[in-house]
Structure 1
Amino acid sequence: MNTTLESTTASLRDEHAQCDSEKGGAVDTIRPQSDTIPEHPKADGADQVGEYPEGGLRAWSVLLGVWIVQFCTFGYTNAYGVYNDFYVRVYLAEKYTSWIGSTQLLLVLSIGLFSGRAFDTGYFYHLMIGGSLLFVFCIFMVSLSQPGQYYQLFLAQGLGIGTAVGITYVPGVSILSHYFHRRRALAMGIAVSGSGVGGAIHPIILNQLFHGPVGFHNGVRASGGLVGGLLIIAILLMKPRLPPTSRKLGSTLEDLRIFLRDPPYVIMVVGTVLVFAGLYFPIFFLQLNAIKNGIDPSLAFYTLVILNGASTVGRVLPNLLVARLGVFNVMVPSVFISGVLVFCILGLKNAAGTIVFAVLYGFFSGAYASLLSPMIASLAKKDTEIGARLGICFTFTGLGGLVGTPIAGALLSKDFVWWRPSLFAAICVLTGALCFSLTRMLVARRKETSWL
């Protein structure tokens, strides 16, 4: 599966080579791949920079389409905290509502392995149209669910929506590699900001619909109609430019065998699993925490909006420091601060504290989200294995997201004992930060540099 996420991570390859050039002075920023992948010498396009539009009406239209997809899909899943609050307080008797959101997260990350391979082999429109139809269909299935029927919501929202977002996520971002080479990092940064904006806008819409005269069922249908219309526009805006490439099958186990012999990579994967196990606890439960602490619902409904808005900023600004300090030197403090903030949930008793927490946690957790892929790519010993390292790490990371928030929800219990899930989530995130620190130390020793 060496090439599963190759299109998505082409920009990371450029940065990887750039770093080598700055440190050693003997490595070109762009290296031809024809000698390493003879069966599809133009897959990277690294030796064809002049062929990339790097802008223009078509390229920016595609970028807009990708941004809309991110807004509608990943941004919608980032608003699950609104659903979770409604399920816990109004709609469901079960305390395991977190399994719905965590299953979404697992599928979004894991299905990318397969959708990325399908994108590379020319199935872009099949994935985008099929995934979009499934996404809207499952939203409408959520609107048909009955109070207290947990299994209906788990099937429609957990499995269905998670699968749909997983199908569209990687192809939606990967198509940018057809139009941008030199400006690819900028283009992808703009595109993924759509998920942060969606995570800020969707909670406003959903809260107003669920708790207003429209109600839950019609509110879900209205949100489904909105994202359905936007996804039609997005698909019309996007068009692949490069021809499909052939991919070798059956290499995933070989990749896994090789990477498991790389101690820094293994430790980093363990760290990502732990971080994801705790990172989403505030995202899923902050609105519920605010309401249970007596904060006016009209303000509590905006806590997730503030958090996701700050996350959008956090996905951009820390990346400006990476070129000077190195990805690990920015990632480790960001994750450590996030872990400390998770434990600080215990001190949230009023609106001011909750808002400050939402801003800080959104910023630093957003930094983690944006730095994760560059951190994984920095461990690649050659550019052509970046996609495989990303794909395998994301699969394991999804498992952390799957079990983390349900465990936190069970620890919270129906009595809302906040210190237990807060302590669990904080320990997970802080332990993950320690794993990243150890990884940095090992890689620094290997490369004989502190610029990591």
Structure 2
Amino acid sequence: MAKKMTISDHSSSQPSAHTQPVPKYKSNEKQTEELPDGGLQAWATVAGGFMLYVAGLGYFNAYGVYQDFYVRQFMTRYSPAEIAWIGSCQIAIQFVLGLPVGKLFDAGYFHHLMIVGSIIYCFSLWALSLAKPNQYYLIFLTQGVGMGIGLGLTFLPALAVTAHHFSRRRGLAMGIMTSGASIGGIIFPIMLNNLLFRHGFAIGVRATAALITALMLLANLLIRPRYRKNQPASKASLRIIINDLPYMIFVAAGVFIMLGIFYPIFYLQLYAIKQGIREKIAFDTITLINAGGVLGRVIPNFLADRVGSFNVIIPVIFLAAGCVLAMLAVALGSGGIIAVSLLYGIMNAGFVSISPALLAELSTDRSEIGIRMGLWFSFTAAAAMAGQPLSGALILGNFRWSTVFAGVCLCVGGSLSILSRLFFLRRRLRDGGAAL
């Protein structure tokens, strides 16, 4: 009886990429065998990426403090939905830059992206500190547009370069690196709640800008790319990628998830205040979300390396939806707010940290990881921008319809992720691989 062909058998039997074109669904196992899966340079890159995520997404994870401060004190002429456009624009620009940034990263321009992005991000934050009350245009341009561009040029290269250093422990390495976003989300809400409300806008923003500038500098010194020697420019075809059904279904899932995933980050502090929760506990909600995120960025990724990314990310999405919908509870008091904050933080961070590893797993060659991640973020950008202003418009005083909207969007995204997994397994089994 013929020996059953495994994925590694299949990939090793293929001719060299230098002698014939790469097949449509060539396994990437041969690529990952070349990776050191550790070492000083790899873990220094993880440490640098951790610092970048503290300064970047960690600061964005504190936007709920800005939303509350703007609504109640600093921009009282504007509605919650109008103010939410600032944070939504920041995250949307970050995502929409994914495709060009991914292509530039695959072409070898890692350091160019990191240096330029860091300068734009830090300059925009310092410029934000010059804004006066109700200067919407200046705050929108600096915090929404400028910081969004800076994030967009840096966060994806940091993710993709980590995938170049690791294979078996890729999920764990990405989880440790992206946990910086949760650590930043613990530090910055505490700083901002104490500084903005007590000492004023300029002092609060400048204090955080000084810390972020130092972290960005260290990150640029530590992170090192690992391109293959004499690696040709990526020949990944957009037509082939767009026709990749498991990948494109997960893109569709990402669109729905992005409509709802940031809802508690934007509105939970304001929701708690409106529900009559003590201000001290309400101010801690964003910190608690990010405290849960520390676990959510490491444990699910550790499990994903062992049981498969899809098998972890799908339950995480549905549990995140359950946490959002729990806000509908009539008697959700201080204890309930604390529980929702912590549990949601774990699930939100689990999704954010596993999805890049899953996108790398869906890639058929290491040279296309950047463009696959970039295309996914570009497609989801519009949803990331529109989601929170839509939720803000649906608040209507009691948060009921905005909560239902966010929860249902997450459920739809989870259902599409199940469908993506089914098609991915069908292709994997057809190619002779084991099911995950």
The TM-score, its normalising length taken from structure 1, stands at 0.82
Within-5 A mapping of 1:226-265: 226-240=211-225, 242=227, 245-247=231-233, 254-255=237-238, 257-265=239-247
Tell me the SS of whatever aligns to 2:261.
Answer: helix
Are 1:54 and 2:8 an aligned pair? no
Cα distance in 2 for partners of 1:173, 1:72 equals: 15
CA shift in 2, pair 1:322/1:109, >3 Å: same
Give the length in aligned residue pairs.
420
Per-residue deviation, residues 17-57 of structure 1 (Å, max 9, x unmatched) = xxxxxx95351598699933679x9xx9966967849323x
Q: Name the amino acid aligned to 1:237.
A: L
Per-residue deviation, residues 367-424 of structure 1 (Å, max 9, x unmatched) = 21122234344444566555443322221112211111110011114xx231010111
Cα distance in 1 for partners of 2:93, 2:357 equals: 22
Per-residue deviation, residues 65-102 of structure 1 (Å, max 9, x unmatched) = 22111111121111111111111111112221111111
Q: Name the amino acid aligned to 2:197.
A: H
Tell me the SS of whatever aligns to 1:316.
Answer: helix
The equivalent residue for 1:373 is: 356
For the Cα contact (< 8 Å) 2:269–2:285, is it kept in 1?
Answer: yes
Are 1:203 and 2:189 an aligned pair? yes
Tell me the SS of whatever aligns to 1:94.
Answer: coil
For the Cα contact (< 8 Å) 2:172–2:302, is it kept in 1?
Answer: no
Q: Any unmatched runs of 5+ in structure 1?
A: 1-22
CA shift in 2, pair 1:80/1:28, >3 Å: farther
Are 1:25 and 2:10 an aligned pair? no
Q: Name the amino acid aligned to 1:124.
A: F
For the Cα contact (< 8 Å) 2:170–2:357, is it kept in 1?
Answer: no
The equivalent residue for 1:215 is: 200
Are 1:108 and 2:94 an aligned pair? yes
Are 1:78 and 2:61 an aligned pair? yes
Are 1:422 and 2:403 an aligned pair? yes
Cα distance in 2 for partners of 1:59, 1:441 equals: 33
Q: Name the amino acid aligned to 1:217.
A: A
Are 1:392 and 2:375 an aligned pair? yes
Q: 2:390 aligns with which of 396, 407, 414?
A: 407
Q: Name the amino acid aligned to 1:436.
A: S
The equivalent residue for 2:144 is: 158
Shift of 1:181: 5.5
Q: Name the amino acid aligned to 1:54.
A: G
Q: Name the amino acid aligned to 1:390.
A: M
Are 1:310 and 2:296 an aligned pair? no
**Stretch moving more, 376-385 or 302-311:** 376-385
Greater relative contact order (CA < 8 Å, ≥ 6 in sequence): 2
Cα distance in 2 for partners of 1:171, 1:205 equals: 28
The equivalent residue for 1:435 is: 416
Cα distance in 2 for partners of 1:129, 1:384 equals: 22
Q: Name the amino acid aligned to 2:410.
A: V
Percent of pairs identical after alignment?
37
Shift of 1:198: 0.9
Within-5 A mapping of 1:317-332: 317-332=299-314
Shift of 1:160: 0.5
Q: Any unmatched runs of 5+ in structure 2?
A: 23-27
Cα distance in 2 for partners of 1:228, 1:107 equals: 21
Cα distance in 2 for partners of 1:325, 1:228 equals: 38
Cα distance in 2 for partners of 1:375, 1:178 equals: 14
Q: Name the amino acid aligned to 1:408.
A: S
Shift of 1:442: 3.7
The TM-score, its normalising length taken from structure 2, stands at 0.85
**Stretch moving more, 88-97 or 420-429:** 88-97
Are 1:346 and 2:332 an aligned pair? no
Cα distance in 1 for partners of 2:130, 2:200 equals: 13
Shift of 1:328: 2.5
Tell me the SS of whatever aligns to 1:266.
Answer: helix
The equivalent residue for 2:25 is: none
Tell me the SS of whatever aligns to 2:202.
Answer: helix
RMSD (Å), alpha carbons: 3.2
